[in-house]
Structure 1
């Protein structure tokens, strides 16, 4: 099982140093969250809290995850990065293909594209995209982005997007992995059908084990049972070496954590405290040899 350090709601001026430390202590990846803006009033409930409220406010810092990946990639050489997850529904697929391809090239293929639909009607409508039919439109977006990133002269004529022959150069020298987020049956089917992996929001170990079982059945249904596939998990109730062992046994391949929050520090804790927390975490879990 690999370990990924997530950086939600982290002060922007800490990100580059956090990337350096993550690589130094042995994390495999950095997970980069996505939020375009904070709307004062929300038309829909946030789907990952019990009461539908958001865990941040108008002053919480966010940075575009693709720009962050480029900046953090420039000061590292082995650390990977992936969006966790980028909300596609409010964006344009050709512009995203240009950005994703650029990050993949600049990081020497150390970038994975975690994708979701998005939950807030305001993000769609205020960015000029319809909220209706968002799932089908995102399915088509994924198809478009993969097509363009594969390189060469391509064209596309779909229900939502239509363009004649074009090419974006240079194409990444290796395929960009797509990690599909979401907990609904539709999202799980999307992950099994077109994804190189699935990424969770906050779930219990029991929920993760159940979902991984469903995904394995769906992968078999789509004839992909033997295809490489990552199960990226954010678990809220499995702690300590024994808890991490249970996650690995359930099929989790990538354990996403925020070490300083794990230790009771805030999202805005001082950089040095976060770095010390990452080192303690690495000593306990990454370098302890518990998986051997």
Structure 2
């Protein structure tokens, strides 16, 4: 099982140094979160906390994950990066294809595209995109982005997106993996149908096991069970050597961890303290 560092809500000036330290320690990836803006009043509850509250406020630092991946990739050579997850619904697929292809090329194919729909109506409406039919729109967006990233002259004529022959160059020299997030059955079907993996939000181990069983059923249904498939998990009730061994045995391929939180530090802890936490975690569980 691989270990990925989650850097959500860390000060922006820490990110490149954290990537370098994570690479030195043997972490496989850096998980990059996505948040467009903080709306003072939210029309919908945040779906991944028990009470629907957001875990951040208007002053919490966020960075565009694609820009962060390019910046972190420029100061590293082996560690990978993936969005966890980028909210597709409020964006344009052709612009995203250009951005994703650029990051994949600039990092030497060290980038994975973790995608979701987005939960906040404001992120859609205030960016000029309807909130309704968002799932169907995102399905087309994934098709468009994959098509364009495949290279060459392409065209697309769908219900939501329509364009004649075009080409965005250079295309990545290797396919960009797509990791699909979401806990609903519709999201799991999307992951099984078009994804190279599935990524979780915060979940308990038993819920992860149940979800993985459902993903196996769906991948079998779509004839994709024998294809490689990542399970990227944020497990909130299994820790330590025994816990990580249990996760690996269950089929989780990538554990997303935040070592400084394990050490009782906050998201805004000093850089040096976070680097110490990375080294401590690596000594215990990676080396």
Query: CA-to-partner distance for each residue in 1:1-45, whole Å, 9 max, x for gaps?
Result: 000000010100000000000000000000000000000000000
SS of match in other structure, 2:4: strand
Q: Which residue of 2 aligns with 1:254?
A: 254
In structure 2, distance between residues paired with 1:137 and 1:263: 41
In structure 2, distance between residues paired with 1:139 and 1:262: 36
Residues 125-274 of structure 1: pairs in structure 2 closer than 5 A:
125-274=125-274
TM-score by length of 2: 1.00
User: How many residues align structurally?
Assistant: 287
Query: CA-to-partner distance for each residue in 1:25-75, whole Å, 9 max, x for gaps?
Result: 000000000000000000000000111110000000000000000000000
SS of match in other structure, 1:180: strand
Mapped pair 1:26 → 2:26: yes
In structure 2, distance between residues paired with 1:35 and 1:268: 17
Q: CA deviation at 1:263?
A: 1.4
Stretches of structure 1 lacking an aligned partner (at least 5 in a row)? 288-292
Q: CA deviation at 1:204?
A: 0.3
Q: Which residue of 2 aligns with 1:54?
A: 54
In structure 2, distance between residues paired with 1:262 and 1:181: 24
In structure 2, distance between residues paired with 1:40 and 1:120: 12
RMSD of aligned alpha carbons: 0.4
Q: CA deviation at 1:125?
A: 0.3
In structure 2, distance between residues paired with 1:73 and 1:177: 17
Query: CA-to-partner distance for each residue in 1:221-251, whole Å, 9 max, x for gaps?
Result: 1000100000000000001100011101111
Stretches of structure 2 lacking an aligned partner (at least 5 in a row)? none
TM-score by length of 1: 0.98
Q: CA deviation at 1:96?
A: 0.2
In structure 1, distance between residues paired with 2:159 and 2:88: 17
In structure 2, distance between residues paired with 1:110 and 1:216: 27
